[in-house]
Amino acid sequence: MSIMTLMASWVTGNTTMSAPEMSYELGVWGFIGYSGAAFGLFFFAPIAKRIKQILPQGLTSGDFMRLRFGKPAWIVFILVSTSYLIVFLVTQGMAGGILLEALSGINYTFGMSQVFVVCILYTLMGGMRAVIGTDFIQAMIILITLLIVAIAAFINVPPTTIYDQVVANSPSHMNLLLPAGLLFAWNTTLWCFGEIFHGNIWWQRIYAQREEVTVRSFYISGAIWFFVPIVTGLLALYAIAQNLLVPQVNMVFPIVASTLLGKGGAVLVLIIVFSSLTSTADSLMASTSDFLAQDVYRQMINPKANDRQVLVVSKALIVILGVISLLIALGKFNSIYKFFMLTGPLVGSTVWPIILGVYWKEASAKGALWAMLIGTLAGELSYFFYATYSSAVVGTVVSGIVMVLCTTIRPDKFDWNVFKEFNLAVLAEEE
Amino acid sequence: MDPVFLMPKGIFVFIVYFSITALIVGVVAVLKIFWKETHDKNVW
């Protein structure tokens, strides 16, 4: 069950919509680069085990940042995390709206709004329990349907023919030395490291798992997920091989499927993408509202709040987050991926503070604070003034340098007992 | 002018077949684990 929920959370609307989009633009590097996101799960596995050992009673990723690095770094982390989660949520709604418009002609605004309304309602009614239950069912639907589309596609046009036609029509799509492709692969991998390492979605699952299954579930879910963007990306090469008319890069996958399999294909894609983006959107809403309710409401506004009050605030936050995301998604962007890439530096800048904070006693709190601030700033500047696909690389590298420099100049002497005391206090409160 | 090195045809074909096969194996493995866990421990 742990494996399925981890994998379903990682098979997002972006995996099924943006992986083909990037393959359509960058060729083989589109899907190779996107599959690199699986390494985030592999590398996070040992860190997850360590987190489970030092902070078994934690509730959110913010708990770790607060206890390990203090209030200033924690506040910056909350801002970084919330900004990322809202943009992520927006992309899921946008993907749903675009999909409905491409396949059924339903107006984008109406379709996108329906995605948010449905997700808000069932997250409100079922909470995290419903999210985890639906995650499993959705992941199975996604994988089985994707396999049906892919097998049908490659029976229809053999891979050798697709290869010959892509080389004839657009050889750069098979070029392994394409500079933009190489940059994209590095950027996506580091960006996804950031998404996983800081994300409350993943931390909540660590806290909920048994320690003995933590590492295994991250490895297995990563190994299965690795092939999902490859298969969806390969389908985009069919569009190039067959010179399909793609009016908007976001629509590659739905158009390929409906061309190959007619109306049946369109329905299958609708099922896949809807399952993937709703499973991610509900996870995002549940984990973000929980994160803000625990870290902002309980820790900052009302420390004496009981569980019931926190639950009420959490539900209100689900609605607020959904409405904010819906309003932003009204501005339909041409490329979901490029819009989402704005968050690359935000999450990339949290990678080193978390890795070093988990293992290195001397890792400094000021270092973590400045690493997130300077890393984010450098990455965003790179996004706007250098290259879109460089933002996460720059954000991650700069934050790593800042973190190590600050720690080397003025190391902290962190007392690991802080975590122990926190765990005991939570247990005492529960009793 | 970008440097050019095309992915060999054999590698491309291998990726197609291998990734689809791996996904099938993954789905079967997960269903098996799911069946075992729910059947033995009655998690629902």
Conformational region of residue A411, where left means phi above 0, alpha means psi within -120 to 50, and beta covers everything else: beta
Distance between terminal CA atoms of chain B?
60
| B35 within a domain of the structure (yes/no) | yes
| B4 within a domain of the structure (yes/no) | no
ipTM of this model?
A: 0.86
pLDDT of residue A1: 64
Helix (H) or strand (E) run with residue A376 in it: helix A365-385
For the cut 90, the answer to whether the pLDDT of residue A360 exceeds it is: yes
Please, is A264 exposed, middle or buried when counting C-beta atoms within 10 Å of its C-beta (0-12, 13-18, 19+)? middle
CB A57 within 8 A of CB A427: yes
For the cut 70, the answer to whether the pLDDT of residue A320 exceeds it is: yes
Tell me the domain boundaries of chain A: 2-335
> Confidence band (pLDDT; 50, 70, 90) for A51?
very high
| B34 within a domain of the structure (yes/no) | yes
Nearest residue in chain A measured CA to CA from B43: A1
A123 or A86, higher pLDDT:
A86
pLDDT of residue A127: 65
For the cut 90, the answer to whether the pLDDT of residue A270 exceeds it is: no
Nearest residue in chain B measured CA to CA from A220: B26
On the CB side of A19, CA atoms within 13 Å amount to 28
Structure tokens given for A312? 């009420």
| B5 within a domain of the structure (yes/no) | no
Going by the DSSP 8-state scheme, the letter that residue A293 receives in this structure is I
CB A232 within 8 A of CB A146: yes
DSSP calls for A57-122: T--SHHHHHHHHH-HHHHHHHHHHHHHHHHHHHHHHHHHHHHHHHHHH---HHHHHHHHHHHHHHH
For B6, the 3-state DSSP assignment is: strand
For the cut 50, the answer to whether the pLDDT of residue A107 exceeds it is: yes
CB B26 within 8 A of CB A143: yes
Q: Could you report the per-residue pLDDT of B5-38, keeping only the tens digit for each?
A: 899 999 999 999 999 999 999 888 888 877 877 7
Question: What CATH architecture applies to the domain A2-335?
Answer: Up-down Bundle (1.20)
Query: How many A-B residue pairs are in contact by the CB < 8 A criterion?
Result: 83
CB A346 within 8 A of CB A376: yes
Average of per-residue pLDDT across A285-299: 86
Judge: B2–A167 Cβ closer than 8 Å, yes or no.
no
Q: Could you report the per-residue pLDDT of A376-388, keeping only the tens digit for each?
A: 999 999 999 988 8
Q: Which residues lie across from B6 on neighbouring strands?
A: A175
Average of per-residue pLDDT across A213-238: 87
Q: Find, among A335, A3, A310, the residue nearest to A136 by Cα.
A: A3
Q: Find, among A334, A342, A332, the residue nearest to A251 by Cα.
A: A334
| B2 within a domain of the structure (yes/no) | no
CB A274 within 8 A of CB A97: no
Percent pLDDT > 90 in chain A is 31
What is the distance in angstroms between the Cα of B5 and the nearest Cα belonging to chain A?
5
pLDDT of residue A4: 67
What is the distance in angstroms between the Cα of B11 and the nearest Cα belonging to chain A?
10
Q: Could you report the per-residue pLDDT of A339-350, keeping only the tens digit for each?
A: 888 889 999 999
Judge: B3–A227 Cβ closer than 8 Å, yes or no.
no
| B18 within a domain of the structure (yes/no) | yes
> Confidence band (pLDDT; 50, 70, 90) for B44?
very low
For A27, the 3-state DSSP assignment is: coil
For the cut 50, the answer to whether the pLDDT of residue A232 exceeds it is: yes
For the cut 80, the answer to whether the pLDDT of residue A249 exceeds it is: no
> Considering CB atoms only, which of A3, A4, A147 is closest to B20?
A147
What is the distance in angstroms between the Cα of A133 and the nearest Cα belonging to chain B?
10
Asked if A261 has any chain B CB less than 8 Å from its own CB, the reply is no
> Considering CB atoms only, which of A1, A177, A231 is closest to B23?
A231
For the cut 80, the answer to whether the pLDDT of residue A62 exceeds it is: yes
Judge: A3–B33 Cβ closer than 8 Å, yes or no.
yes
For the cut 50, the answer to whether the pLDDT of residue A425 exceeds it is: yes
- Which one of A2, A4, A176 makes the best mutation probe of the B interface by having the most chain B beta carbons within 10 Å? A176
Total structural domains within chain B:
1
- Which one of B1, B12, B33 makes the best mutation probe of the A interface by having the most chain A beta carbons within 10 Å? B12
CB A49 within 8 A of CB A215: yes
* CB atoms inside a 10 Å sphere around CB A73: 25
d(CA A41, CA A10): 9
> Confidence band (pLDDT; 50, 70, 90) for A68?
very high
> Confidence band (pLDDT; 50, 70, 90) for B1?
low
Structural domain for B34, as ranges: 11-39
d(CA A213, CA A218): 9
Structure tokens given for A268? 């299958």
Structure tokens given for B16? 């197609």
What average pLDDT does chain A have? 86
Q: Find, among A186, A228, A165, the residue nearest to A31 by Cα.
A: A228
For the cut 60, the answer to whether the pLDDT of residue A313 exceeds it is: yes
CB A30 within 8 A of CB A233: yes
CB A356 within 8 A of CB A403: yes
Q: Find, among A135, A124, A64, the residue nearest to A314 by Cα.
A: A124
The position carrying tokens 């019931």 is A308
Helix (H) or strand (E) run with residue A164 in it: helix A159-169
Q: Could you report the per-residue pLDDT of A170-207, keeping only the tens digit for each?
A: 889 999 999 888 988 988 888 889 989 988 888 888 88
Q: Find, among A370, A329, A376, the residue nearest to A100 by Cα.
A: A329
